[in-house]
Chain A
């Protein structure tokens, strides 16, 4: 039995060998057939119902963020990594402004002079520019605009070292 305690702020998660098998086998892709969970069940030697129940549980525990498609933001529309440098005491207020902005789907506070980093998405480049211009005006600070020029990543997830985590 694997138990992971996350800095005390999330309840302990217990994952058994079957949970780990599920994650290892399918974090790179599900079988895209008529009954995907039945195909997974067959491979794992369990029932379809059990696969569905395990996925539901892992999702509700937030061990899986979802079971579904990972979209390439850039290809499904327009997107850009933006950053802004705000005084520390204004950071939370600025973050709230950014989070309210339509199209923002990630926003991280980072330890740097540029202390707020976000991903802005839009249906197309024109809408993206308009949203960034509007946000810049509202924040009253210049945005660092960092579009992706080239992607080198493979992004298939990475193998989870269960044995190592068990000792953590």
Chain B
């Protein structure tokens, strides 16, 4: 399991201009041609091999999580996505966060800050199911796993997707929009 702390520390500084150009060129997907690396590299003035090696390096450093055929779970029938939020004892969150992340159906699991008194929840787990009932069954499982370390929780269903795109790496200026 990969556990990362303090996300935006130094790693992004390790990206050079060519890495950033590759990110911009591939964030919507790789070209579906026999040699996608050369197709990405050509307009950037990079050899295909250079693109491939750089992407591999970004994967090793964790900037790229995976290079894959990314399914659209929504399209496959996973219509219910529930963002579950939990108020978990800080002393236990490290151990329990890892346990929650390992459950099937949990796609993302993060610790985030509380904003008291309004927002007491410090553990976020994204659950996916075909129905609300499926998501609720998963949430029950989580509740059981967290036990007495959990004081309160909520399930926030998405009622509408208003925008969803892959990463859009912005330049230093905002002029592209």
Please give the residue numbers on chain A whose beta carbons come within 8 Å of chain B beta carbons, in ascending order: 4, 6-7, 10, 13, 22-23, 26-30, 32, 34-38, 48, 52, 55-56, 58-59, 61-79, 81, 95, 98-100, 102-112, 114, 116-118, 121-125, 127, 131, 144-160, 165, 168
Contact A63 B75 (CB under 8 A): yes
Name which residue of chain B comes closest to A64, CB basis.
B69
Contact A153 B109 (CB under 8 A): yes
> A36-B36, A78-B12, A152-B97 in contact; A121/B170 too (CB < 8 A)?
yes
Contact A158 B130 (CB under 8 A): no
In the bound assembly, the distance between CA atoms of A144 and B55 in angstroms comes to: 34
Contact B102 A154 (CB under 8 A): yes
14 other contacts beyond A108-B162, A157-B70, with CB at 8 A cut-off? A4-B77, A27-B71, A59-B29, A59-B32, A78-B8, A95-B162, A108-B161, A111-B159, A116-B162, A124-B12, A146-B113, A146-B124, A147-B112, A152-B101
Contact A29 B68 (CB under 8 A): yes
**Binary A-proximity of B48-73 (CB < 8 A = 1, otherwise 0):** 11001001101101111111111110
Question: CB of B43 within 8 A of chain A?
Answer: no
Contact B170 A55 (CB under 8 A): no
Name which residue of chain A comes closest to B100, CB basis.
A152
Q: What is the minimal beta-carbon distance from B148 to any residue of chain A, in angstroms? A: 20
**Max chain B C-beta neighbours (<10 A), residue from A48, A73, A154:** A154
Residues in B with CB closer than 8 Å to A114 are: 119, 156
Contact B3 A63 (CB under 8 A): no
Contact of A68 among B12, B15, B28 (CB under 8 A): B28
Q: What is the minimal beta-carbon distance from B62 to any residue of chain A, in angstroms? A: 6
Contact B128 A147 (CB under 8 A): no
Residues in A with CB closer than 8 Å to B37 are: 34
In the bound assembly, the distance between CA atoms of A28 and B158 in angstroms comes to: 25
6 closest residue pairs by CB, A with B: A74-B7, A66-B29, A152-B101, A152-B97, A68-B29, A107-B163
Contact B112 A151 (CB under 8 A): no
Residues in A with CB closer than 8 Å to B124 are: 81, 146
13 residue pairs from A and B, CB less than 8 Å apart = A6-B74, A23-B69, A68-B26, A68-B70, A70-B65, A76-B12, A81-B124, A107-B161, A108-B160, A110-B157, A146-B119, A147-B7, A152-B110
Chain B interface: which size bin?
A: 35 or more
Question: CB of B6 within 8 A of chain A?
Answer: yes
Contact B8 A74 (CB under 8 A): yes
Residues in A with CB closer than 8 Å to B72 are: 62-65
Residues in B with CB closer than 8 Å to A4 are: 75-77
Name which residue of chain B comes closest to A52, CB basis.
B32
Residues in A with CB closer than 8 Å to B112 are: 81, 146-149
Contact B170 A74 (CB under 8 A): no
Which parts of B2-34 form the interface with A (CB within 8 Å)? Answer: 2-8, 11-12, 15, 23, 26-30, 32-34
In the bound assembly, the distance between CA atoms of A157 and B6 in angstroms comes to: 23
Contact A111 B34 (CB under 8 A): no
Contact B12 A77 (CB under 8 A): yes
Contact of B154 among A76, A103, A112 (CB under 8 A): A112
